[in-house]
Every structure is written in structure tokens, then in C-alpha cells.
Structure 1
Amino acid sequence: MAKRNLFGTDGVRGVVNTEITSKLALSLGAAASIYFDGRLAQQTNRTIAIAWDPRVSSEMLAGALGAGFMETGVSVDYLGVLPTPGLALILARETRYMAGAMISASHNPPEYNGIKFFGPGGHKLADADEEAIEANLGLVELGNPSRVHGDEVGGAHRVENAREEYMAFVRQNNPGLSLEGIRIVVDGAHGATSYTTPALLRQLGAQVIEMNTDQDGKLINKDCGSTHPGAVGARVVTEKADLGVAHDGDGDRVIMVDHTGRRVSGDVMLYVLALGLAGEGRLTGNTVVGTVLTNLGLEKALEPHGVRLERTSVGDRYILDRLNEGGFVLGGEESGHIINLYQNVTGDGLATTLAVLGYLVRTGRDLSEIVDEVELYPQIAENVRVKDNTIASCPEFVAAVEAARMELGNAARLVVRPSGTEPLVRIFLEGKNTERLMALAERLKRVLLSAGQQGEE
């Protein structure tokens, strides 16, 4: 199988009309159609579902992607603006689709967009599947032998009730939940959850204060949402709310804040959910799956409850792989991307919100009280913008990283990870001595930038 050049850690993503264009979307639709048709057409209808977030470029890319499918005879249902987990859950519950595609760049700025594919059951594609689609691009560029003619092309249909269908599924997964008397601030990041989260919380009885829920695609993720939770935290304090929730652009993440405006990370939410499931005897293997970046404080907090933490590489697909391999049900990342297989087959910010609220309602506990139980270790994260992520493999930087690890010993952790979606190298350190960590991060940053300048000469 050829090496992937187009697909990153979460589909194809880039700046619109630079890395990702309508022409590319058209070709990807045809290439993906060849892949899905060859494997799935005998078992399912030849129809694909396409959804998107509110970015200005999303409908342009959705139309082009759909055209690529339709020219090979595959019909397209356009679901409209819908959170990514909404598409996944519809695919998991319905059998009318052979596959799905989401147009979104998740937590990235408005100028970015992306395309990621889902197979039957709502599962993201494995690396080998994406490699096969990328290989099919060559066939498409040579003339697309799968193109049909005349009235054999696929049709297009707009589905008007996809958001309501998703909300109904999420509500079914949380039977009997009442949020009467709870005051919640919701930051939709101008994204795909701007309607679904406030609407479902209100259906369950909560009093909801909305912010950044106008679906303005030019503002998506800008100084708001899960990547900037200070805004929702301040609003919670001003409104005297019980808590707040902040999503990213496509709704697969959520970061919460307690009544004091304090950030509640994905690691802390994993702790809450683990306590709830373990208490009900439903935390299979008494195991939570995190990543190499999961805070050591979570691991320490879980131990007295007989729950262990397993770590994978960074990325929800690796977490999901381990959940399936081990027969586990709960995993996630500090970013608030939580996979709870009782709720959905992928990260779902709305479902995570309801699961956390459900635990609080059942136990009568306050979110801030639970936050105090998890002593998170200080973490330093330095995102270094580079021209080429491969610079992280240069000998000078690799040597500097190994020297830093030797210096830290067992007192702290160091992780270096090139971004899969942006020209960034992420330097991550965790330990109790913040000044020492900051000094090491700065030293590694200087080595990395120096190596990059030498590579340009």
C-alpha cells in the first residue's frame, strides 16, 4: 500500500483553496465511491450521508464531494449542519447508508476545512482504508473508470430532520434524565452544536444561557468554545450559573467549567464518568483509556477506586482501537474528546455533557467538589510553528529531546508530537516543577527553530 500523503490524523484538512479545494473534494468523492462501492454495495444501499459544520466553505465542499459520489452512480443525502457525532450516531443506528462524510476542520480556525469519512456503523476509517481511497485518486485523475452516464448518475436529497434525529438518539441513551433547576451556560463556538446542545438541554428542563450560538462560519472557534473556555467561565460567574459547557466547531469535544468558572478538563470528566460507570458495575475491565498526554493526576485519582488507566498514542482513533481490542467502554483526551461507547461510537460533546450531568443529578454532588479530587500535575505545552513537521526528526532535535528526558528522569514526562493537521510541532512536559519544565520547553523550542533555519539554507 502506498504511503499516505493526503490524509492526516483526522481525515483531509487544510486551508480552503490552498490545501483543500472543491476540485480535490470532487476527486475525493469519486475515489471514496470506488472504495466503498467495491466493499459495501452488496450489503447496503448505494447512498451516502454528508453533513457539515457552519464554516463558509462547508457547503461548497459538500456540494463538490457529493458530485464526486453522484458521478459514479451513488446517491447523496445532504444532512445539513450537524455535529460530527450526530452523523456517526445516525450511521450507527440506521442501515440506509453505505457510508458517511463530514465536512469540518473541528477545532481549527475558520479558514481551515476538512473531509473525513465514516464507514457503516459510524466508525472512522482505518489508516489502510484511507490509503486505499488515496490510491484511487490516481484512477480518478486518469478518467474515473467508474463514472456512469446519463440518468444513471446518483440523485441528491436534502434531509431536513437530521438534527432532531440525532437529539432523539442522544436522549434515548440517557433515559429518565431531568435537569430541572440547573442553570447552564452553553458556548457553541459558532459551530455545529449551536442548535442541538441548547435545544436538548432545554428539553430536559435546564435553564440555558447561550453564547456564540449564531452559527457564524467566519467566527467559528475564534476566541471561544472549548479551546478558549475562559469566556464561558466568566459568563458562568456573571450569570450565577451552576456550570458551563463549551464545544468546538464540530461538537466532538466539550470542556466544562464549574460554578466558579474553573475549567474542567477532559481528564476530570473521564474521572467523573469512570466513577459513575464503575459504581453501576458497567466500567468493563475497570479500565479507562487515555493517551500519552493524559495527566498523571487522573491515573493517581482513579487508583483508590480500583480503576486503572491505559495509554495510547495521541488521537481518538487509537483510543477507539484500544477500547475495541480490550472490550473497554470509556476513553478520551484532555481536550474533552471523550468516547463513551454506551453513548456513541465516537467522541460526542453533547452526550458527554449529559453523562456528566446525569452523574451529578444521581449523586447530588457538585462539579467543583469532584474537580478538587483530581490533583492535576502542571503541564507545559509549547506549540512551535514550523515550515515542515519532519524537522522534528532531525538529529539535533532528537538528541536534545533525549538529553532532556535523561535530565528529567522519573520526576516528569516529556512528549514531542508533530501535529497531524497543522504545521506545528507540539512539545509537552508534565511534572511538579513548573519553572524547570518551562526552561526545558524553551530550550527545545530554540533547538527546533534553529534546526529549521539550517534546513532552509
Structure 2
Amino acid sequence: GAYILEPEVLEYLPANTESDFSKDLFPLLLAKGEPMYGYIAKGYWCDVGHLDAYREAQYHALERKVKLDFPYKEESPGVWIGQNTYIDPTAKIEPPVVIGDNCRIGARVHIEPGTVIGDKVTIGADANLKRPIVWNGAIIGEEAQLSACVISRGTRVDRRAHVLEAAVVGSLSTVGEEAQISPGVRVWPSKKIDSGAILNINLIWGNTAQRNLFGQRGVQGLANIDITPEFAVKLGAAYGSTLKPGSRVTVSRDQRNISRMVTRSLIAGLMSVGINIQNLDATAIPIARTVIPRMGVAGGIHVRVHPDRPDYILIEFMDAKGINISKAQEKKIEGAYFKEDMRRSLIHEIGDVAYPSQVADEYCTAFEKLLHIDTLRNSRAKVVIDYVYAVSGAVLPQMLDKFGADAVVLNASLNKTAMSATDRETLLTQLGHVVEALKANFGVQVSANGEQLILVDESGIPIRGEMLTALMVDMMLTSCPRGTVVVPVHASSAVEQIARRHDAKVIRTKANPTALMEASYKNANVVLGGSADTGFIFPQLHPGFDAMFCIAKLIEMLTIQERSLASVRAELPRVIHKSHVIRCPWTAKGALMRHLVETHPAQNLELIDGVKICQQYDDSWVLVLPDASEPLVHLYANSNDRDWVDETLRNYRARVQAFVEREQEQVVAEV
């Protein structure tokens, strides 16, 4: 209950000594004959002296066992919702539930009875909330599972993480992707739980190690959650601190508002450490990579919405040649960032910002030098280009027009928001219909701000994935026999079969884009690099991926070789190439790779990236490749024999899953 005291009672408490009301004070008052009274009230009472009682009090309030004035409007019986809160129409909400002001509830979220959500809370698609209490400013990721737990102020629970019954996560903590916090576990404020970790004990002292800034491909994270203006300012200052004062760097971006915001913050950080900026503004990446070596700058930064995740921002750093920076340079930037080892420039040393002109013209000039212009003029080709509302500074239509080719452009206006994969597929189908109707030579859907493409042949049929990789290799090696092509470790063996036809050489690299760029740039006689996954590199132009040059080169090659895309496709080797993805905690990845190496003959192994198990005297292989940025393992099986591919994929899927389960059981047993 509650105690009500007259002020003079406090005079009975001894000075500077611990004293208990029930054990010390009340017996003393009774001994001295002071009057004491009790009253038994009929109302609700709950002493929230421990966490179970705290949760129970919330549930009792929702069940109206206690009379409360809710600060939010009751939108329907038992559902109180604050102002300026958006709830996706597909979300399922079961009363009683409280949702505060300025919240965002994503698609297909399931909120079960007894859930309490504070103000400014974001809940990602497909999350499942079973009676948690979520405090103000929390961020709950896609497919997260919260069960009768407490998520404190400003805490972030990432995608597919589980926080189980009676667990409490302290304010400003982060629970990584696919991590699990077991029942009753308490996490003190400002802690970080690594992706895939299983936490079975209270996390009180220390802080888990901070993650690396750089992943498989630059710096990436959730837009305006991981990648915020304050983060970008600090990142820009860290990068600038690794360069000499007074150095110049280019900064470019896609057309999204979020990219503009991040770019301006990066510029502020760079200027603060005395770096001068060549601001290319909204520019396709191929253009940025082409002009970097010509401008004599120390490097460049490009900011864009991630090509595979529309809620993510990707920040890529390029060196003076236009190639993504090395691991060593990444480590220098990370060191400056985490140690806060940034110099601060005096007022007269602050960097300057310039807006160079004729950037696109420089790209066009370099572009033209590598093409047979007369061939293009004579081709009278008709091409349909779909920009999916997303390519900045797309100069290709004007150039093709100048060369005498007919370019029909679709969806060239710039949207501020990224399109979903489903919407892109719809546009691809429409592109096929347009190509057929116009009797065009081919169509192309350009994505990733000018880096990637999907082709559509004259019949409206898409060419993508391994078929697109093989088609580009075949056409380039027909044009340049005995050349060298560079492809990632997981590309289909059709590449080697085509290379043998043309007495050509194949170089395989790690799966990451930087490895492809470096190998294409450093090796002699490389005529093509990359794959459909990343885009294609033409190293004579610049060291990055370039869909725009690829289109013009295709027109030229089809004209000279007197072929159509359909006829090229018909001549490609028939290779079966399938893949599968398996969940794998970060902690198990290294042990899995070691296990595979130890359990296969050394002569059958290739260890370029992951573990590739090859059949001798055959193009059949299976590749087990850990994902660099998520708790996943990719399986690829490749052969001319469909049955071998299906059986091998089944076999290795079972082997990997069994190993992962054994590792997880062992971790739980040790804890």
C-alpha cells in the first residue's frame, strides 16, 4: 500500500543511518504511543517492485482492471492509437492494444492482445508482437519476434531477431539480425548483441565489439537509421583524415532525397578535415568512375539506395583509378572512425566545394573512342531502354541518337522512392511487349544507377542471370578471340566452355565487386569482367560496371557479327546451374568452411572464395559460399548433368544444415 506521514514523523528517523519503515520506524512509533491508522481501499493496487509485476500492471491496465485516462484515442473497442501514426492496411491488430503517436507499422505485422507500443516506434514488415511492452523510439526490424518482453527506449531489434518471454533489453541497445535473447535474460543499456548470437545470460558489464564499417560492398545500412546525417559527417571526416590535407575527392549520388541528405553530410565531414570536394551531384556511377582518373583526384564517394534492398543506403569509396578501395584502405578509415582520430582544420584550411562542368561530355568522349561509330551508324538498330525511374544522368539515348541508332526510352523520369522487385518485374514484362510491338532489335532494363541490366530479346523474352553472363562472354570473345574474361567464383562453367571455343582465358575471382574490378584492371588482355549479378566491366573505358556502354557495344557486336540475341542464346552451352540459400549463424561459418576442407580431398578443392568442390576432368562442381553481410550460406551446383546438380544440391543442403544444427546445439550446451 501507500504510507501517508505527518512531517514530524521524519524526526524519528536516525541521521546518516539506514532505517526501514516496517522494521524500525513503525515499531518505534507504536512503542512511543503515537497514533497510527489503517484503511483498506477497494480499488486496484499493484506494487511494481519487480519486472513481472511491471508487465502485469500493463496488461491489467489494458484489460481495464484499473481505471486510467489513456492519452490516445480509442479508434475501435480496445485499440488506442496516437496521432500521426501510420498502420499498413495489411497489418493485423488484435485488441486490447495501445499504439502511441508518430508510429509506423509495416505490412503484414501481427500485433497480438496485450501489446503496448510507445511513441515514435517503427515496426518492419512481417514482425510478430506477442504482448511485448515497447518504449518510445524503438525500431523493430522485419520478421522480428517479440514475446511478452520489454524493449526499452531507443532500442533497435534487427531483422528476424527473437526476444523471448520476460526478457528486458535496456535503452539504446541493439539486437543484431537473427539474434535470440532467451527467456528472462536482462540486457543493460547501450549494449550490442551480434547478428546470429544466442544470449542465455544477463549482459551487464562491457559492450560487445562494434561491427566493421565496411561489408562486402562499401558501407551499408538502413536508411536514416544506421546511415544518419551524424553518422555520415563522422564517416566523411574519418575518410578525409586518411588523405593529405588539401586533397580533392569527387562526391556523387543517385537522385533519391535520402542520398542527397547523406551526401551533404559526407561533404560537411570532408570539408571539416580540409578536403576539397568536386561535387558531381546526381550522376550515374559509370560516369563518376570514368572522370575520377581524368580529374586527378585522390578518390571518390558514391551514395545510392542499395540495388538489392530499397530500405538500405550503400556508400562506395573509390581510389584514384575509380576502383573500389582496398581492404587496407577500408581498415584505415575504420581505425579513424572508431578511434575518433580525426584532424580538425583551422578556419582558413576548411575544404572548398566545386561543381565541375562537362562531366557527362568527358564520359561521352571516352565512350565514343572505344566503339566503331560507322558500324553503329549503319546498323539502324532500334533499342528500347527502360530506366525504371532510377538512373541519374542517363546520357545513352542522346549518344545513340547521335550515332544514328533509334533509342526508345521508357520510364526515364526520376522517382524519389525506390521501386519494389515486384514493380520492376511488371515493368520488365511491359518492356517485352513494347519490344515485340516495335519490332526492336532488343530491349534492356537498366538498374543500380547505370551499373546493371537485364536484356529482352526480339521476342520479348528476358535474358538474365547465368544466361546473360554467358551471352556477354560469347559475344565479346567472338569479337576478341584469345582474350581474357574475369568472372566471379560462382559463375556458371558455361564461361569456360565458351572460352575453349575461342582459345580464350578465364580468371575467377572472389564474389565481391572490388575483386572483379581489381582483376579486370590488373590482368593483361582483359576484354570483359563481371557477371549479370554485378554488371559488366569494360576495362579500356573505366574499371567499374557499365550498363550504358554495354548496350552500345551490344548493338555494335550484333551488327558486325550479323546475329540476333535469340540466335546467340540458341548457341550457348547447355549448362545446369542452380543455387540455394541456407541460414547460418556468423559463429558457425568459419567452422563450416574448415569442416568442408577437412572432409574432401585437397586435389578436388578450389579456395578462391568459400569452398568449391570440383569433379576432376569435368565441368561439374558445387560451391559453398558464406555471405559476407548476412548470416547466410549460398550453395551453387553446376554441371551438364541435371540429375547430378539436383542430387548434389540436395546432398550438400542436408550436410550444411546438419552441421549448423550440431554447432548451435554445442553452443547452447556450452552456455
Aligned residue in 1 for 2:625: 417
Q: 1:268 to 1:230 in 2, by over 3 A?
A: farther
Deviation at 1:5, TM superposition (A): 1.5
Query: Matched residues in 2 for 1:226 and 1:296: separation?
Result: 27
1:137 aligns with 2:337: yes
Alignment counterpart, residue 346 of structure 2, candidates 114, 125, 149? 149
Contact 2:473 2:498 in 1 (8 A): no
1:16 aligns with 2:16: no
- Provide, for residues 113-140 of structure 1, a one-character-per-residue CA deviation record: whole Å limited to 9, x for no partner: 111111212222111111111111134x
Structure 1: segments with no counterpart, 5+ residues: none
SS in 1 for 2:555: helix
Deviation at 1:11, TM superposition (A): 1.0
Alignment counterpart, residue 262 of structure 2, candidates 61, 67, 72? 61
SS in 2 for 1:218: coil
1:77-88 correspondence runs (5 A): 77-88=278-289
1:36 aligns with 2:235: no
Query: Matched residues in 1 for 2:526 and 2:354: separation?
Result: 35
Q: 1:398 to 1:377 in 2, by over 3 A?
A: farther
Alignment counterpart, residue 268 of structure 1, candidates 471, 484, 492? 471
Contact 1:58 1:113 in 2 (8 A): yes
Q: 1:173 to 1:438 in 2, by over 3 A?
A: same
Structure 2: segments with no counterpart, 5+ residues: 1-208, 601-610
Query: Matched residues in 2 for 1:160 and 1:186: separation?
Result: 26
Stretch deviating more after TM superposition (332-341 or 215-224): 215-224
Deviation at 1:217, TM superposition (A): 3.6
Q: 1:395 to 1:51 in 2, by over 3 A?
A: closer
Aligned residue in 2 for 1:355: 553
Contact 1:400 1:447 in 2 (8 A): no
1:106-125 correspondence runs (5 A): 106-125=306-325
Deviation at 1:296, TM superposition (A): 1.0
SS in 2 for 1:250: helix
Q: 1:189 to 1:344 in 2, by over 3 A?
A: same
TM-score, normalised via structure 1 length: 0.84
Query: Matched residues in 1 for 2:413 and 2:549: separation?
Result: 21
Which one-letter code corresponds to 1:153 in the other structure? I
Q: 1:416 to 1:237 in 2, by over 3 A?
A: farther
Aligned residue in 2 for 1:90: 291
Larger helix fraction of residues? 1
Deviation at 1:451, TM superposition (A): 6.4
1:172 aligns with 2:380: no
- Provide, for residues 389-412 of structure 1, a one-character-per-residue CA deviation record: whole Å limited to 9, x for no partner: 454334499559968988978573
Query: Matched residues in 2 for 1:450 and 1:175: separation?
Result: 57
Contact 2:323 2:518 in 1 (8 A): no
SS in 1 for 2:506: strand
- C-alpha RMSD over aligned residues: 3.4
Percent identity over the alignment?
A: 21
TM-score, normalised via structure 2 length: 0.59
SS in 1 for 2:637: strand
Higher relative contact order (CA 8 A, sep 6+): 1
Query: Matched residues in 2 for 1:271 and 1:230: separation?
Result: 26
Query: Matched residues in 2 for 1:231 and 1:370: separation?
Result: 23
Deviation at 1:294, TM superposition (A): 1.9
1:7 aligns with 2:202: no
Aligned residue in 1 for 2:486: 289
Deviation at 1:61, TM superposition (A): 0.8
1:374 aligns with 2:577: no
SS in 2 for 1:439: helix
- What stretches of structure 1 move > 4 A for 4+ residues in a row? 224-231, 394-411, 444-457
SS in 1 for 2:400: helix
Q: How many residues of Structure 1 are paired with residues of Structure 2 in the alignment?
A: 439
**The structure with more radius of gyration:** 2
Q: 1:23 to 1:7 in 2, by over 3 A?
A: same
Query: Matched residues in 2 for 1:150 and 1:235: separation?
Result: 57
Aligned residue in 2 for 1:317: 514
Which one-letter code corresponds to 1:189 in the other structure? V
Q: 1:405 to 1:315 in 2, by over 3 A?
A: closer
Which one-letter code corresponds to 1:439 in the other structure? R
Query: Matched residues in 2 for 1:56 and 1:444: separation?
Result: 46
Aligned residue in 2 for 1:305: 502
- Provide, for residues 144-181 of structure 1, a one-character-per-residue CA deviation record: whole Å limited to 9, x for no partner: 3x211334311223446434443343233325252553
Contact 2:284 2:450 in 1 (8 A): yes
Q: 1:201 to 1:152 in 2, by over 3 A?
A: same
SS in 1 for 2:451: coil
Contact 1:189 1:249 in 2 (8 A): no
SS in 1 for 2:278: strand
Which one-letter code corresponds to 1:254 in the other structure? L
Deviation at 1:361, TM superposition (A): 1.9
Alignment counterpart, residue 450 of structure 2, candidates 219, 226, 251? 251
Query: Matched residues in 2 for 1:252 and 1:342: separation?
Result: 16
Stretch deviating more after TM superposition (331-340 or 405-414): 405-414
Deviation at 1:452, TM superposition (A): 8.6
- Provide, for residues 208-267 of structure 1, a one-character-per-residue CA deviation record: whole Å limited to 9, x for no partner: 233343221422463466999556445433443211122222222233222122405123
Query: Matched residues in 1 for 2:555 and 2:282: separation?
Result: 25
